[in-house]
């Protein structure tokens, strides 16, 4: 069996666009006619350029190869151009293609992917969700309203979710870490207080940030929200600064989580060695794919750390996350995005029931992809999947973070 054909889809979810402006989905076909699906989580170049990168990685390192040879293809891509170092764009391309290889292998053997990478350890996976506006909420106002966030949290808890994530601490900018405005700290405390009151002990609070803060600023913020017992403080400082993240982990009591912007074990290992985070959040469409992230999970186990796979993408990366989560003893939970479009794209083949996910037993990733739906929702813009704000923190008029999906300009 050999890999012969590649097709790339850039899929635009309908407004408001939970999961990003678009998703990069790949379709691999073998000489025996087996199709595998994968998703690339790479956002540093535009979609047109990314198509070329994905195509180059496939032709250069994978075309004509047996899809079983995951390690060989990984080492080719990782070493490409005399590098042998993490490259988020190349690894983002490879990760999606690697996921598709596992889908092919599972289908060829008529077994789910988790059966091929260690077998089922977990019959159910705990899910968590971001807090998104309810239909009755005013969307622009939602991101700065503790009251609306509390209503959304209560709705999630009523649907069985035992953990909810929110990010009220202001924008992430190209300027790197900054001191939070006192108003941002006060707003963060107000969100934690309102959500804790709404869910009581039924759900954990996951305090999301995106590397916004300086070391001392993150410590101040962590100390302020600590009385509400958040389960984690996500990426409090820029992800490339492990020394600073370690200082934050030691300087305030909320457990630190990180990993959505890291790729391969080469970037996760120093985090574990330094004690910078006790919860890792790899995005399988960027971290190196299923096999590489299985290695990251094993490393984390040795450091008594847990995994909570990240998802701000489409349902194919989610399916890969669930297959991995089924196999590892140190899974904490998996991020989930529930929208009609996410569900329709995989024809409802994986679902959240009472806040938990049952890994499918069907072959491969266990999903049935609606190819026609993807073709009908092609993204034709030039924007990035996510974009960082250029303006600095506003210390006078307040700050707002629109949940990863800014309102589309008309």
> The tokens 């290992």 sit on which residue?
269
Q: Looking at residue 161, which CATH number applies to its domain?
A: 3.20.20.120
**Residue 384 domain flag:** no
Q: Round to whole Å and give the CA distance between 63 and 56.
A: 10
**Residue 314 domain flag:** yes
**Residue 318 domain flag:** yes
Q: Summarize the confidence of residues 68-74 as an average pLDDT.
A: 98
**Residue 397 domain flag:** no
Q: State the pLDDT at residue 404.
A: 53
Q: Are 22 and 385 in contact (CB under 8 A)?
A: yes
Number of domains into which the chain is organized: 1
**Residue 286 domain flag:** yes
Q: Round to whole Å and give the CA distance between 76 and 61.
A: 6
Q: Round to whole Å and give the CA distance between 106 and 99.
A: 11
**Residue 31 domain flag:** no
Q: State the pLDDT at residue 403.
A: 56
Question: What is the end-to-end Cα distance of the chain in Å, rounded?
Answer: 48
| 85 burial level (CB within 10 Å; 0-12, 13-18, 19+) | exposed
Helices (H) and strands (E) in the chain, counts: 14, 13
**Residue 243 domain flag:** yes
Q: Could you list the residue range(s) of the whole structural domain that residue 339 is in?
A: 116-366
pTM score, whole prediction = 0.96
Three-class SS state of 268: helix
Q: How far is CA 373 from the centre of its chain?
A: 23
Q: State the pLDDT at residue 410.
A: 43
Containing 249, the helix (H) or strand (E) segment is helix 242-251
Percent of the chain with pLDDT over 70: 98
Q: State the pLDDT at residue 400.
A: 78
**Residue 267 domain flag:** yes
- Closest Cα partner for 235 from 216, 261, 202, 253? 261
Does residue 408 carry a pLDDT above 70? no
Strands 356-357 and 125-130: antiparallel
pLDDT (tens digit per residue) in 336-363: 999 999 999 999 999 999 999 999 999 9
Please give the full DSSP string across 321-388, using - where no structure is assigned: HHHHHTT-TTB--EEE---HHHHHHTTT-S-EETTEEPPP-SSBT-----HHHHHHTB------SS--
């Amino acid at each position: 069996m050999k890999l012969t054909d590649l097709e790339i889809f850039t899929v635009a979810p309908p407004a408001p666009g939970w999961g990003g402006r678009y998703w990069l989905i790949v379709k691999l076909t073998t000489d025996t006619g087996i199709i595998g699906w994968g998703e690339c989580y790479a956002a540093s170049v535009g979609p047109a350029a990314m198509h070329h990168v994905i195509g180059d990685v496939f032709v250069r390192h994978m075309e004509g190869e047996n899809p079983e040879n995951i390690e060989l293809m990984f080492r080719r891509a990782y070493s490409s151009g005399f590098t042998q170092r993490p490259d988020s764009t190349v690894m983002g391309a490879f990760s999606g293609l690697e996921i598709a290889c596992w889908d092919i292998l599972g289908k060829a053997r008529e077994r789910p992917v988790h059966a091929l990478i260690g077998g089922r350890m977990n019959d159910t996976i705990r899910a968590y969700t971001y807090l998104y506006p309810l239909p009755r909420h005013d969307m622009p106002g939602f991101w700065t309203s503790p009251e609306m966030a509390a209503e959304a949290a209560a709705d999630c808890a009523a649907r069985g979710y035992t953990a909810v994530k929110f990010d009220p601490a202001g924008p992430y900018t190209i300027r790197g870490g900054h001191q939070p405005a006192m108003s941002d700290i006060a707003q963060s405390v107000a969100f934690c207080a309102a959500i804790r009151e709404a869910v009581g002990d039924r759900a954990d609070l996951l305090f999301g940030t995106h590397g916004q803060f300086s070391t001392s600023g993150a410590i101040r913020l962590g100390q302020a929200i600590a009385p509400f017992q958040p389960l984690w403080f996500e990426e409090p400082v820029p992800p490339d600064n492990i020394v600073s993240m370690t200082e934050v982990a030691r300087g305030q009591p909320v457990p630190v989580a990180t990993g959505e912007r890291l790729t391969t074990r080469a970037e996760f290992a120093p985090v574990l060695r330094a004690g910078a985070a006790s919860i890792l959040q790899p995005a399988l469409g960027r971290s190196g794919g299923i096999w590489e992230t299985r290695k990251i999970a094993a490393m984390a186990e040795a450091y008594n750390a847990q995994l909570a796979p990240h998802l701000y993408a489409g349902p194919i990366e989610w399916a890969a996350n669930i297959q991995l989560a089924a196999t590892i003893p140190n899974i904490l939970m998996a991020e989930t995005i529930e929208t009609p479009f996410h569900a329709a794209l995989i024809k409802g083949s994986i679902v959240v029931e009472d806040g938990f996910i049952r890994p499918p037993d069907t072959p491969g990733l266990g999903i049935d992809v609606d190819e026609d739906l993807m073709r009908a929702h092609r993204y034709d813009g030039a924007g990035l999947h996510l974009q960082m704000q250029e303006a600095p923190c506003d210390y006078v008029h307040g700050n707002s973070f629109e949940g990863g999906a800014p309102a589309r300009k008309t």
